[in-house]
Each structure stands twice: as C-alpha cells, then as structure tokens.
A and B are shown apart, each in its own frame.
Chain A
Amino acid sequence: MSKILELEALRKYYATQKAVDDISFSIEKGSIFGLLGPNGAGKTTLLRMITGIFYPDMGQITFDGKPFDPLNDIRMIGYMPEERGLYKKMKIGEQALYLAQLKGLSRNEAMEKIKYWFKKLEMETWWNKKVEDLSKGMSQKLQFVTTVLHEPKLIILDEPFSGLDPLNANLIKDEIFGLAQRGSTVIFSTHRMEQVEEICDHIVLVNLGKKVLDGSVAEIKQKFKENQFKIRLQEKPANTNSNAFSVLQDHSNDLVVKIHEGFRSNDVLMHFLQQGTTIESFHEILPSLNEIFIRIVEGSSALTRSFQKVD
C-alpha cells in the first residue's frame, strides 16, 4: 500500500513555544488514522500545516507521492477543524454550495453532490432553512457533509463527534468507514480514546510537540501490556499463592493476576487446574488506550504547558 501523506522532521516554532518539534510519520492510503494528544500538544498546529494553512518552519510534507503544494492539493483535502462553524444567516443549501465552490467544484458538480449527500443523510428538507434554525447536532452533520462533499483523498476530522447524540454519531461513524472503504484516508483527531480504539487502524500520540507513540492499535496495546490476566473460577481454592504470579485483585470468584517474568499464562491455568477448581473464563487484560494515554501524558509537563507565558 502506498502512502497518502508523509511528514518528515516537521517543525513549527512560535515565539516561546515549540508547537511542533521534529515530528515524522506517514499515513497509508485508505486507512483511518488517529492523531492523539492532550490539549495544547500541537495537534491543531500539525493539522494546520497538513492543510496548508501554516507553512512549516522546517521539514517536508509529501502528499500522494509529491511534495505538498497547498494551492493545488487543497482540493484533495477536506478539513473539519475543531473550531468550526457556519454562516448563521445563510440558507443551508446555499452554504453547502458556496463551500463546495470554494473547494473548486463547479456549480453543477457541487449541486449534484450536495443532493446525493443530503439524500443519504436525510437532510433534503433542510435546503431552505437557515443554520441558526438547526440544532447543534444537525449543524454538525451539515459540517461533515461540507467537509467530504468534494470527495477528498484525505479527510481530516478534528473532534468530529463532539455534540452529537449516539444515533447521529453512529451515522457519521458509518460514513467514515464507508469513505475509508472507498479509498479516502481519514485523519481523526480526538482525545476520546474509546472512539479511537473502535475506529482507528493506526495512531500517533503527540505530547509537548513531539511524537511519543506510533503504531497500530493492537501493536501499541501489546507493547504496553503488563501480563495481567483475569480468571473466573467456579469456586475459589484455598491456595491462590504461587511463584508464577501474584494476585492483584480478588473479588469473590474473580481474580486479576500478574504473571511474573519467565512464566506463561499456562502456568496460571496449571496452578488452578491442579487444585481441581473449574475455570469459567480466562483472558488477558490489555490496557485501554485511555490508560496508555494517561500513563504517558501524566508526569510530563503537558498540563502546565498551556499556561506558559507568551509574550
């Protein structure tokens, strides 16, 4: 699979802050990519460079195999920023048409695509309404449509589900999967880890302007696992002590154990089997991305960074 986007040693320094400090990664075509990081980590700056709003101070962006040319490549990118909005007084249909034309679509092309999407997301009756008449979730939906309308190769969504009810969130989620299947690449920026776990193939975690994690969700979980297993027994045996593991939690018949170095999960099973108890279930506990995130970010000065003095 070829890469849609490659970042190489990207840097963007502000007066007193290294917003993005030497970040490199690449994104495969057709994948759903998660860009994670705490507030003020440099995600927005990074995204603004990828969308051509900012020029990097240093480094190279390669878009679809060629050096990134903001003027022309911008057509191929759909960006839904975190700070997003619409013209409140403008009619919805005209608004979508306007934004599509700004992306370089002709009026007819734009019209055709708007009709397709409005039909798909059951928004046809909205055409003559004004944005100020829409609920937050509805305008979010409209925002999503205007982002993907021109069939961009690269779709960048910054917190796309904020303010959406579960029903609409699922609707949008399905669309994101659909777009990825049809060959678009999605960059997904959020700090809602459970969504990342569900949606993303590959993630990068940035903190303090630097990349701290890069890999597929499964890889990362494997990397951060702590050899913990959960075991459910029909009856708790008298002896739960073994030199193969130590018990971390003990809730009636549920045990959480940590396997010591040099031992395998089979050793745990063996221990309980030898005692003659019936094992109802046994599985490995992988850390959630949320835990990994907190583990990495906590302890760094990330939380205080947003209050750094800028003058």
Chain B
Amino acid sequence: MNKIFIVARREFLTRVQKKTFLLTTIGVPILIFAFYAVIIFMSVKSTSDFKVAVVDQANVFNGKIDEKKSSEIIFSFVNEDTATLNKKLEQKEYDAYLYVPAGFSISGQSNDSLQFRSAKTVGLMTREKIENRVSKALEEKRLLSMNISRAQLDSIQAQKELITFANTSGKKENQTKVGVSYAVGFISGFMIYIILFIYGTMVMRGVVEEKVSRIAEVIISSVKPFQLMMGKIIGIGAVGLIQFLIWGALAIVLQLAIPVLFPQLFEGMQAQPVQPGMMAAIDATKQQPDMIRGLMEGLNQINFPLIVGCFVFYFLGGYFMYASLFAAVGSAANEDMQDAQSLLLPIMMPIIFGIVIMMQAVNNPNGSLAVFGSLFPLTSPIVMMARVAHGIPDGVSTFQLILSMLFLILGFFGTTWLAGKIYRTGILMYGKKVTWKELWKWAIKKN
C-alpha cells in the first residue's frame, strides 16, 4: 500500500509540476470563457442597425409596421421609386428596402407580392426577424379587417401556453427543464467520454514511456508490477480530479463574473421575479433575458447534488476501469506508440458505443437501449450521466442506479484483475510484436 502511494505521488507530482498542466488547467477554461465573452459582448453591444426603407404604395401598413422599438431593424417609410432606392442602397443609406406594389392587397386577392431587396446578402437571423415582423403585421391587419376587434386580438395573443406536460405521478414538467436536462445529460456524458480518453491515454503513454526508457525492470525489482500499475493509475486519476476541481472552481467564479461584466444581460431578470409558466407571455422585446431566465429556472429544477455526486462516481469508476485496460495495452507496446494504437481499438469500441447510446438516452432515458447501456459497466459511466440528468425517478430508478454502480465496481475489479496479469507479463517483454490473442493468453494463464 505504501509503495503504491510512493508511485502515485511521483506520477501526480511530475505531472502537476509541468508547465503544460498549469496551461491546460487554467488556460483552457479562461480561453473558452474569453471566447464566449466575446460572443456575448458582440451580441449585446451590436449597434449596427439594419435599416430598411419601406415603400408602401398600397398603403397596407399605414406608415407603421408594428409597435416594436427594437434597435436592430429599423423600418422607415419613404416614397421614392426603386431606381433612387437602388442608388441609396449602393450609397449605404439603407441596408435594404421593402417594396409594396400598388396592387397588393391584404386579403390576398392580387398576384402582386412584397419585394425585398438588399445590397448584401442578409443574414439568416436578420432575415427571419424581418419576415416575422412583416408577416405578423400583415396577419394582424388581416384579422382586424375581418371584424375582429383590437381587444379580442390582444386576448387571443395573450393566451399561449395551453399544454402542460406532466408524467403519471402528476409532477409538472417544464419545457425548459427537459431542455436543460438534455443539455446537462449530454454535456456530462460527453465530459466522461473525454475524460476516459484523455486520462486513459495518459496512463497508456506513461506505461509505454516506462517500458521504452527501460526503467520498468529497475522498478519492478523494488515493487510488484501491480503496485506500479495501480500507483500510476491513482496518481493520474488524482491529476484528473484536481484538474476538474480547478475547472469547477473557475466555472463558479466566472459565472459570478458574467453579470458583473455584462449587466445588460441581466437587467430584465432582476426587475421581475421569475414565475414559472409565464415566460411566453412576457413582452417579446425582452426576449434575450427571458431565455436566460428560463435557463436559470430549468437549472434550478435540476438535482445538482445528485448529478455532481454521480459525475464524480462515474468519472472515477469509469476512469479506474478503463485506465487499467489502457495500462495493459501500453505494457504490450514496443518502442513506439504505433503498436499501441492498433491494440487500442477493442478498448475504444465500447467507449464509442457508450457515446452513441448516450445520445439516444438523453432523448429517451428509459428506452431499453439506454437501460442496457447504463447498466453495462463498459458503457455505464457515459450513458448513466444522460439518464441521471433527468432526475430520479423520471430518468432512472434508484434501483437501477444502485445496480449500475454495483456493476461498475465489479467491472473495475474484473478489468483490473485481467489487466494486471497482462501488464505483469507485458512490461518485461521486449522486442516482440504482441497480438490480442497473446494478451488474452497472458490474462487467463495461471500466475
């Protein structure tokens, strides 16, 4: 036990003391955050309005498209012919113009249609916004022209969220909650997938390095091969855990930093307390803060202690189970990583299956494939995260969760036992290209 600790400490310290560790641990999240900050900054600060001239020859709009005072798209009514407008487009006085031909009627009886011209290609978002506002205005005009009063129209528009989704236990499901569960499940499953790969290959490279630099036998004469393998796995696992703790802490700090850096985003939120189910009815001009508020509300409904707990468990369980397999492959490699790569495939397959099943499971956490994937220890670390994100018992029953954890622990003992035997033979074997058949022979032979 003591020797495992000495080995683990070396593995941990040599990695943590490297400059690259500091760079990836602190640099990467800051880089990602900076990237998002720039995007948010751009979308918030964007002041380049899109100016649209409207030539309303049929006088459909009465000089006004709608009540919105959005700063992004400005409609201004002019009375000019298309030739001068084209020229003005070239001079960048307007970005585009909307031409309503004289024969256009809202009842749709004429063949004339609205024409939209722009100097440059219009972005998808802008185009959608223009289309939305114009067609909504036309729809309103049509309804009003069919003798529906303004008051009736307003009351129709106010009634939106009519369907409430609920499960059999009668618990109300919120649309954003499902969306957020989906995202949380997907992200955490994906993170486990990445962890298995990054830290697994780190273990493998460490083993190959020991073999190639010929230190393996020197060390094996002082510690048992199993102790060396476990020490390495534990040391690298600790590196991973520390890295995640730092990332977690950074995420919290940065999350607190966002409202400080971008107060505009959150103005709407603080003004009005959150009321579930009322989102859609709220004034559409405050769309963006609403989205964030919905998100926050969804996040609030997620059982984070459960998810974080499960994440740590499946992170460690999955890592320990796979790390020993990666170590076994590393021990069979010769001289260069090339040999190892070809032996890696059978190990990577279940991980890749895991992520495929996980993508199904986020959508359908109780499907039979998801249930199987979340119980089978080689895929459960990835798949179970997708199910757990939907909560207990919506996504997974307590019984299945416990069973899955139990299987994972058994799986860990199984792979470590097999891998330990392969490792013991492989680490001292030089100059021989090893096949999977041979690895299997090493694994099952007695002592």
Give A contacts to B, CB under 8 Å.
Answer: 48, 51-53, 55, 74, 77, 79-81, 83-90, 98-99, 101-104, 143, 146
Q: Which chain B residues border A53 with CB–CB below 8 Å?
A: 217, 220-221, 428
For B, the interface residue count at a CB cutoff of 8 angstroms equals: 20
The contact of A85 among B10, B213, B447, by CB within 8 Å, is B213
Which residues of chain B are near A83, meaning CB under 8 Å? 214, 217, 430
Could you say which residues of chain A place their CB within 8 Å of the CB of B147?
Answer: none
The 8 residue pairs across chains A and B that have the minimum distance between CB atoms: A85-B214, A79-B221, A85-B213, A102-B222, A81-B217, A85-B215, A83-B214, A51-B221
Residues of chain B within 8 A (CB-CB) of A86 are 213, 215, 218
Q: How far is the CA of A48 from the CA of B428 in the complex (A)?
A: 10
A80: chain B residues within 8 A (beta carbon): 218
The listed residue (A74, A77, A84, A101) touching B215 by CB distance below 8 A is A84
B14 touches A99 (CB 8 A): no
Is B402 positioned at the interface, with any CB of A under 8 Å from its CB?
Answer: no
Question: Can you list 6 residue pairs at the A/B interface with Cβ under 8 Å?
Answer: A53-B428, A84-B218, A85-B214, A86-B215, A87-B210, A99-B219
Contact B217 A84 (CB under 8 A): yes
Taking CB atoms, residues of chain B closer than 8 Å to A85 are 213-215, 218
Chain A neighbourhood of B10, CB < 8 A? 98
Q: Which of B3-25 contact A (CB under 8 A)?
A: 3, 6-7, 10, 14
How far, in whole Å, are A1 and B447 apart by their CA atoms in the complex? Answer: 36
Q: A77 touches which one: B217, B220, B221, B447 (CB < 8 A)? A: B221
* Contact, CB under 8 Å: B7 / A88: no
Binding site secondary structure of chain A: loop
Q: Distance (Å) between the CB of B321 and the closest chain A CB?
A: 26
A229 CA to B10 CA, complexed, in Å: 61
Q: Across the interface, which residues of A come within 8 angstroms of B219, CB to CB?
A: 99, 102
CA distance A301 to B106 in the complex (A): 104
Let me know if B223 is at the binding interface, CB within 8 A: yes
- In the complex, the chain B residue whose C-beta lies closest to that of A47 is B221
Least distance between B436 CB and chain A CB atoms (Å): 15
B3: A residues at CB distance < 8 A: 102
Could you say which residues of chain B place their CB within 8 Å of the CB of A146?
A: 218
CA distance A146 to B218 in the complex (A): 10
> Contact between A102 and B6 (Cβ–Cβ < 8 Å)?
yes
User: Are A98 and B430 neighbours in the complex by a CB distance under 8 Å?
Assistant: no
A63 to chain B, nearest CB (A): 14
In the complex, the chain A residue whose C-beta lies closest to that of B227 is A102
Provide the bound-state CA to CA distance between A123 and B447, in Å: 42
A99 touching B214, Cβ below 8 Å: no
Residues of the A chain whose Cβ atoms lie less than 8 Å from the Cβ of B209: 87
Closest to A86 in B: B215
Output the least CB separation between B319 and chain A (Å): 23
- Are the C-beta atoms of B222 and A103 separated by less than 8 Å? yes
Of all chain A residues, which has the CB nearest B228? A102
* Known contacts A74-B222, A102-B3; A55/B215 CB under 8 A: no
Give Cα distance in the complex from A48 to B430, angstroms: 15
Tell me which residues across on chain B come within 8 A of A103, comparing CB atoms.
222
Whether B221 pairs with A101 at a CB distance below 8 angstroms is no
Q: Is the CB of B213 within 8 A of A81?
A: no
Q: Tell me, in angstroms, the Cα distance from A86 to B14 when the chains sit together.
A: 14
Residues of A within 8 A of B430 (CB): 83
Chain A residue with Cβ nearest B219: A102
Q: State A39–B242 Cα separation when bound (angstroms).
A: 48
**A89→B214 contact, CB < 8 A:** no
Given contacts A51-B221, A52-B221, A84-B218, 8 further A-B contacts (CB under 8 A): A53-B220, A53-B221, A53-B428, A79-B218, A87-B213, A102-B6, A102-B223, A103-B222
Cβ-closest chain B residue relative to A54:
B428
Q: In whole Å, how far is B12's beta carbon from the nearest beta carbon of chain A?
A: 12
